Structure 1
Amino acid sequence: MAAAREWEFAGVRGAITARIWARPDPRYIAVLAHGYGEHLGRYEHVAAALVEHGAVVCGPDHLGHGRSAGERVLIESVDDIVADLHTVVRSARGDHPGLPMVLIGHSMGGLIAARYAQLHRAEPAALVLSGPVLGRWDALAALLEAEEIPDVPIDTATLSRDPEVGAAYAADPLVWHGPFKRVTVRALQAGIDLVAAGGSLGDLPTLWVHGDDDRLVPLEGTRAGIEALRGPGLVERILPGARHEVFNEIDRDEVLAEVTSFVDRVLN
């Protein structure tokens, strides 16, 4: 697979760096929305699997994340991030008119992807939500109530059963290792509430994948949000023993195969 090409555009609140992994004859567009505190560079293997499957893959580093501009991890509105994501979608559609688009969001990116699907219902042919921040997130509620947000680094063991994943995360200079910003906490809760109030995704083909040992975004809290979105097109896949980053788990190849099989069922 060719190396990703980076490009920059003027986002809602600052310059956004996006990546695209091309192939000469794509049959669909895959758009990736990464999680809180990380960046799209951690998704090289996901992009490789999707490119091999027939996709041109693209996505941004969200505002305040990775190589994009802005105060680190400061988000004032989830809809701002959705608007930046829409710019990436429009660019990909301009380069590849007529191709179906599959939107894949992990964690906070799952919240962004779900909100995107509600606001731009005609755009995605399919939606994949990986450990999405939806419904009830008790850790967020605790931060909202805290007089002072603690500066406690993430326990990297909660990411994956593969210890190399945690080690790479801890050593990555583009990953945010500091505390949440209160403005961001409020924006995320407001975004969760917006999605809950936004109603079902109807017959949009949607795959929800979640580890049953996810201690960062626990399964049962997310389930409440999934029920608010659920329509006849929703399929859930709960992964025994998996932690938060199911695309980085010890059985990542099988999980990614689940995603590509889902895409085949939708597109064929």
Structure 2
Amino acid sequence: MTTSREWEFAGSRGAVTARIWSDGEPRYVAVLVHGYGEHLGRYEHVADALVRHGAVVCGPDHMGHGRSAGERVLIEDFEDVVADVHTVAGSARGDHPGLPVVMIGHSMGGLIATRYAQLHGGGLAALVLSGPVVGRWGAVERLLALDEMPDEPIDPSTLSRDPSVGKAYTEDPLVWHGPFKKTTVRALDAALRRVNEHGSLGALPTLYLHGEDDRLVPPGDTRAGIEAVRGDDLTERIYPEARHEVFNETNRDEVLADVTAFIDRVLGRR
């Protein structure tokens, strides 16, 4: 049975809480990178599927998110978040030397994971991006133009066709339900520009997943970013009628099967 434990380290801007799931002898490391306003505890079922597939799974709650320290959802520079993810990945490598590392980033976590791959891609065997905030994000452009951030919580129905997902999200005390911070919006804008300008991920095998009916991070916004960073080995899956959180969608089993099949293909070539 999959077991998990939490641990804490001194992050870039304060204490960061990380989590690790394991069972038996793993054949690869999977690093999960969560999205804006949420926390890694929402990925329990993803971690369980990956552990059953042969992974040891780990990841942090980003600064200002979940159980980590800091003002809620305040990020001044996403390079600091990348550095914290690097600490978690480095710890996993130290505990499991020689195992290939796969990074999986969702939404804002896709932006963080892409930047990580640009800086540290030599240490990754593969990258998985789910509804990633890359290219442009209309929400950021709209918020940048405002003096005051509107207090408009995310419509939970945009997350998944499964209503229980939205209900759990709304009732989760570790999820941020308040407005964006202007500082975070500026940092998102800077990170998007930085990633777009950096260029290709080269030979790194990359799996891009997106819900066709994603109204939070529309596929059209993401497309330019994927084209800017795509390398020599890009696999793409666009799921008809699926919304933003494809790992929580009604076809979640299909999505997770696509992820594990992709990982098997990459590991089989090593």
Aligned residues: 268
Q: Which whole-Å CA distance do the structure 1 matches of 2:259 and 2:204 have between them?
A: 15
Q: Which whole-Å CA distance do the structure 2 matches of 1:40 and 1:99 have between them?
A: 22
Q: Which whole-Å CA distance do the structure 2 matches of 1:93 and 1:3 have between them?
A: 19
Runs of 4+ in 1 over 6 A off after TM superposition: none
Q: Deviations over 1:195-229 (max 9, x none)?
A: 00110001100000000100000000000000001
Q: Which whole-Å CA distance do the structure 2 matches of 1:24 and 1:86 have between them?
A: 24
Structure 1 residue 85 corresponds to structure 2 residue 89: no
SS in 1 for 2:149: coil
Instruction: Tell me what 1:62 maps to.
Output: 62
Instruction: Tell me what 1:161 maps to.
Output: 161
Q: Deviations over 1:214-252 (max 9, x none)?
A: 000000000000000111111111110000000000010
Aligned-pair RMSD on alpha carbons? 0.6
The amino acid of 1:124's aligned partner reads L
Q: Which whole-Å CA distance do the structure 2 matches of 1:215 and 1:165 have between them?
A: 16
SS in 2 for 1:26: coil
1:37-116, aligned counterparts within 5 Å? 37-116=37-116
**1:136 Cα deviation (Å)?**
1.2
Instruction: Tell me what 1:250 maps to.
Output: 250
1:16-31, aligned counterparts within 5 Å? 16-31=16-31
Structure 1 residue 204 corresponds to structure 2 residue 178: no
CA contact (8 A) 2:66 2:175 kept: yes
The amino acid of 1:65's aligned partner reads H
Instruction: Tell me what 2:238 maps to.
Output: 238
Q: Which whole-Å CA distance do the structure 1 matches of 2:121 and 2:165 have between them?
A: 34
**1:176 Cα deviation (Å)?**
0.2
The amino acid of 2:257's aligned partner reads A
**1:24 Cα deviation (Å)?**
2.0
**1:142 Cα deviation (Å)?**
0.2
The amino acid of 2:37's aligned partner reads G
5+ residue gaps, structure 1: none
The amino acid of 1:193's aligned partner reads R
Q: Deviations over 1:96-128 (max 9, x none)?
A: 000000000000000000000000021110000
CA contact (8 A) 1:169 1:175 kept: yes
CA contact (8 A) 2:2 2:48 kept: no
Q: Which whole-Å CA distance do the structure 2 matches of 1:127 and 1:152 have between them?
A: 32
The amino acid of 1:134's aligned partner reads V
Q: Which whole-Å CA distance do the structure 2 matches of 1:5 and 1:38 have between them?
A: 19
The amino acid of 1:150's aligned partner reads P
The amino acid of 1:79's aligned partner reads E
Q: Which whole-Å CA distance do the structure 2 matches of 1:2 and 1:211 have between them?
A: 28
The amino acid of 1:230's aligned partner reads R
CA contact (8 A) 1:63 1:75 kept: yes
Q: Which whole-Å CA distance do the structure 2 matches of 1:156 and 1:221 have between them?
A: 20
The amino acid of 1:94's aligned partner reads G
5+ residue gaps, structure 2: none
CA contact (8 A) 1:28 1:54 kept: yes
Q: Percent identity?
A: 73
CA contact (8 A) 1:199 1:228 kept: yes
Q: Which whole-Å CA distance do the structure 2 matches of 1:2 and 1:136 have between them?
A: 37
**1:3 Cα deviation (Å)?**
3.0
TM-score when normalising by structure 2: 0.98
SS in 2 for 1:183: helix
SS in 2 for 1:4: strand
**1:23 Cα deviation (Å)?**
1.9
